[in-house]
Structure 1
Amino acid sequence: MAVKKSDLYRSLWSSCDELRGGMDASQYKDYILTLLFVKYVSDRYAGKEDAVIEVPEGGSFADMVRLKGDKEIGDAINKIVGRLAEANALKGVIDQADFNDETRLGRGKEMQDRLSRLVAIFEDLDLRANRAEGDDLLGDAYEYLMRHFATESGKSKGQFYTPAEVSRVIAKVIGIGPDTRQDQTIYDPASGSGSLLLKASNEAPRGISIYGQEMDNATWALSRMNMILHGHPGAEIWHDNTLASPYFKESDGSLKKFDFAVANPPFSSKAWTNGLDPENDEFGRFEYGIPPAKNGDYAFLLHLITSLKSTGKGAIILPHGVLFRGHREADIRRNLVRQGFIRGIIG
């Protein structure tokens, strides 16, 4: 029987209890989601041939369970995660959390007991019956962790996760559906945990080619894990600053054009010009106006518009201020409306 969300959330809460005291609340996810990923792929794919994920010898959750009570459990968990990462070209993706970090997990017996209890919590979850394709397990877990703990450290959960209901509405608004072809493309320039891309792609039963770029390293790693769990190992998710260094380009060096584009970028970014000279942008993204130096809302919108084919459709989540603020933003807004780019606003 599939694990209920209530059971999953109960396990997440218990695991957070084990991590309290040694680290910032927003860092719980780095450890918890790594364990959840290893547990999920072990339950689903261990011992199976031609699986989406290869679970190598010495790289499974069962190997972690055997470490409970071991004095070297922290270092040994790192090695288990490392083997799984190496077998699946996931170095730098699933192996970012250091389970042997004494400053966060305690020294000696304290670390030994804490990690043993943490492994035991996930040991009791049977994830073999959960279908990642239709049940965003990591996304649900991530949203739960961000909702309850990111705010404790002044972080915004909106930086990482777009609610499923909003994602599905966006997909329908831009026309993704049964007639969408597998060779068509969808792009998210601020892809976060990948939840918006995944929910949008779920509306295309015949498939769609997925592209994304994310600046935050831990969040980019989560999106890579999420894509694999949902059967999109070929999704191209790049780690870099989209505005300063967009990765996806055409052969002539211009921005790659997509059939669909979606985004829930960080609201009102004050550092959007870092590494970027908007007045001399090589991609011509700011021909309709340069956004204020301390507010990047329109920068992401202009990037999204430039990334669409002439027949492309896009949707972006932005704060209400983009509708009313004056000066430079008023000029950009006027130009975009006159060009006929804006087809609708949902407030």
Structure 2
Amino acid sequence: MNNNVQLPIAAIIAELRSSTNLDSQEYKDFFVSVFFVFFVLVHRRELLKQDSLFVLELVQTLDDEVFFSALLNAATHVDELYDDALGLSETIEHLIKRGREINSAAFRRTCISLYGVVSDSELYSGDTFETIIQSFSEMQGRRASEAYTPRDLVEMMVEIVEPRGGESIYDPVCGSGGFLVSANIKASNFDTDSKLKIHGREINLSAARIAKINCIVHDIFGSDIRISDSLQDLEVSAYDVILANPPFSLATESYGRRVSDSYFDFGIPPQNNADFAFLQMIIKSLKPEGRAAVLVSNGVLFRGGGGDNQRENYTVRNS
């Protein structure tokens, strides 16, 4: 990761945070959406030439209303460019309204500062976006709606499964899309002419949008990122490679609602702990010769109760 972008991003986020009383999830959505609009205007300007020139002229304006009007107009056009799959204009409009009530000038300063970072980071736009994701994850801590897996750990797990171009890769809890992006970089380094088939599922709308943006910023086009409960919507024997960091010890009744196509070949997990539900779903989703790397808590290896039976069943069937 390019260390040169870390301090500016952290400083911009800190200034916005200190100047407003918004919930961190609100200005995270705003920050991510504005970043992507500027990314398209600066680094994909051939797609939206008129908007690029218009916003560039207004970056130095002192009129909040004129600036935000131009930004919202550009966001609408970027949404149209990506088939209204990202909800950028809706998110930005909501926060602009909130900004008018709180500190409009602070929001404009944030946008202008972020525009400067995006303009100076042509070679490192992917790193810049990852820095944004990481910064908000560290700030939100356990309250974050999706897990951020440290990059070193992501890269180690990608090395283990060795994805190759042409293969299908799946993350059933894709969060910000870090595994999918890193796996695609690994496969592209091995064979620049052959890309992975990218598939991600995420139950959280905001996280799914971030994953889609992360893919686009890293030049991954045609990715299949959907809002879906992967414990409920099983995809049997579908993927060559699976990488995942499921939420640890999640209490959910999601898999209890299933009425057919059960994937609990090794035992039914309790509804107050979904660790073994995720593992069995992942096993069922792999092609016969597929491979997976999954991050789990220590309890999966040592916890008693139903976990003992499921570990024993898996060991017996695969010995």
| Residue identity opposite 1:115 in structure 2 | F
**Alpha-carbon distance in structure 2 between the residues aligned to 1:156 and 1:19:** 16
TM-score (ref. length: structure 1): 0.80
**TM-fit CA distance, 1:131:** 4.2
Secondary structure of the structure 2 residue equivalent to 1:200: helix
Instruction: Note the alpha carbon deviations across 1:43-84, whole angstroms, 9 max, x for none.
Output: 2121x3xxxxx2353367526626642335445533321111
**TM-fit CA distance, 1:201:** 2.0
User: Is it true that 1:114 corresponds to 2:106 in the alignment?
Assistant: yes
Report the counterpart of residue 215 of structure 2 in structure 1.
227
Q: 1:69 to 1:4 in 2, by over 3 A?
A: farther
Report the counterpart of residue 259 of structure 1 in structure 2.
240
Where does structure 1 lack aligned partners over 5 or more consecutive residues? Answer: 49-53, 250-254, 342-347
Q: Is the 8 A contact 2:2 2:124 kept in 1?
A: no
Report the counterpart of residue 277 of structure 1 in structure 2.
257
User: Is it true that 1:165 corresponds to 2:146 in the alignment?
Assistant: no
Q: Is the 8 A contact 2:248 2:296 kept in 1?
A: yes
TM-score (ref. length: structure 2): 0.87
Q: 1:256 to 1:287 in 2, by over 3 A?
A: closer
Question: Which structure has more helix as a fraction of its residues?
Answer: 2
Q: 2:133 aligns with which of 138, 142, 149?
A: 142
Q: 1:270 to 1:256 in 2, by over 3 A?
A: same
| Residue identity opposite 1:118 in structure 2 | T
Q: 1:112 to 1:175 in 2, by over 3 A?
A: closer
**Alpha-carbon distance in structure 2 between the residues aligned to 1:284 and 1:105:** 48
Report the counterpart of residue 82 of structure 2 in structure 1.
88
Secondary structure of the structure 2 residue equivalent to 1:288: coil
Where does structure 2 lack aligned partners over 5 or more consecutive residues? Answer: none
Q: Is the 8 A contact 2:33 2:91 kept in 1?
A: yes
**Alpha-carbon distance in structure 2 between the residues aligned to 1:93 and 1:296:** 31
Secondary structure of the structure 1 residue equivalent to 2:39: helix
| Residue identity opposite 1:57 in structure 2 | Q
Root mean square deviation of aligned Cα: 2.6
Identity %: 22
**TM-fit CA distance, 1:42:** 2.0
Q: 2:16 aligns with which of 15, 18, 26?
A: 18
Q: Is the 8 A contact 2:30 2:95 kept in 1?
A: no
Q: 1:114 to 1:289 in 2, by over 3 A?
A: same
Q: Is the 8 A contact 2:59 2:67 kept in 1?
A: no
Q: Is the 8 A contact 2:242 2:292 kept in 1?
A: yes
User: Is it true that 1:155 corresponds to 2:143 in the alignment?
Assistant: yes
Q: 2:278 aligns with which of 295, 300, 303?
A: 300
